[in-house]
Amino acid sequence: CFRYRRLGKTDKGLLLGCLQKVSGYSRIQIKRLVRQSMKTGTLKRRQRTVNGFTRIYTREDVQRLAHMDELHGTLSGPATKKLCERAYTVFGQAAYQRLAGISVGHLYNPAARHPLPCRATSLREDPSLRLPHRRTP
């Protein structure tokens, strides 16, 4: 189309730069596509679908973690992990099978992917947190 083979070195560079600008491909990718076009006469689109990582923890697992935190008062990561392990191994609750093997580092990752609505237990101010009234002596 552009008579690429007959162009000089500077013109080839200019053409590659224009193609790079228009297409958004990198310079080396443009060179590969030009080489393929010169060799075969056509460009074939190769679509490769890459399978992403499969989701391990479901929305129900996140809800179980939230429920566990609600029941036990938001414990530390290792304590929550231990509770999930015990729920599966000792008490035989099959719902906790996936959560029994969760690492402490990954404990809060599923919650970031499936955010739960915030459950405020009380909107009233706690009287014990008020500052005392200050007076002059």
Q: State the 10-residue block means of pLDDT for the chain, 137 residues long.
A: 84 91 91 89 77 80 86 85 92 91 81 55 57 72
CA torsion angle 67 69 73 75 (round to 10): 160
Domain count, the chain: 2
| Together in a domain, 64 and 19 | no
* Domain annotation covers residue 103: yes
| Together in a domain, 105 and 65 | yes
pLDDT at 125: 59
With the C-alpha atoms ordered 104, 106, 110, 116, is the resulting torsion angle positive or negative? positive
* Domain annotation covers residue 135: no
pLDDT at 62: 85
Helix (H, G, I), strand (E, B) or coil at 14: helix
Q: What is the DSSP string of 104-135?
A: STTTTHHHHHSPPPP--S--SPPGGGSPPPP-
* Domain annotation covers residue 132: no
pLDDT at 38: 86
Asked if residues 20 and 26 have their Cβ atoms less than 8 Å apart, the reply is: yes
* Domain annotation covers residue 47: no
| Together in a domain, 36 and 65 | no
| Together in a domain, 33 and 66 | no
* Domain annotation covers residue 92: yes
| Together in a domain, 36 and 71 | no
* Domain annotation covers residue 125: no
Q: Which domain holds residue 36?
A: 4-40
pLDDT at 53: 76
pLDDT at 66: 84
* Domain annotation covers residue 119: no
| Rounded Cα gap, residues 99 and 106, in angstroms | 10
| Together in a domain, 109 and 65 | yes
Q: Is 34 exposed, middle or buried (0-12, 13-18, 19+ CB in 10 A)?
A: middle
pLDDT at 123: 47
> Alpha helix (H) ranges present in the chain?
9-23, 27-40, 59-72, 77-89, 97-100, 109-113
* Domain annotation covers residue 131: no
| Together in a domain, 32 and 78 | no
| Together in a domain, 63 and 106 | yes
| Together in a domain, 63 and 36 | no
| Rounded Cα gap, residues 59 and 2, in angstroms | 55
Predicted TM-score (pTM) of the model is 0.47
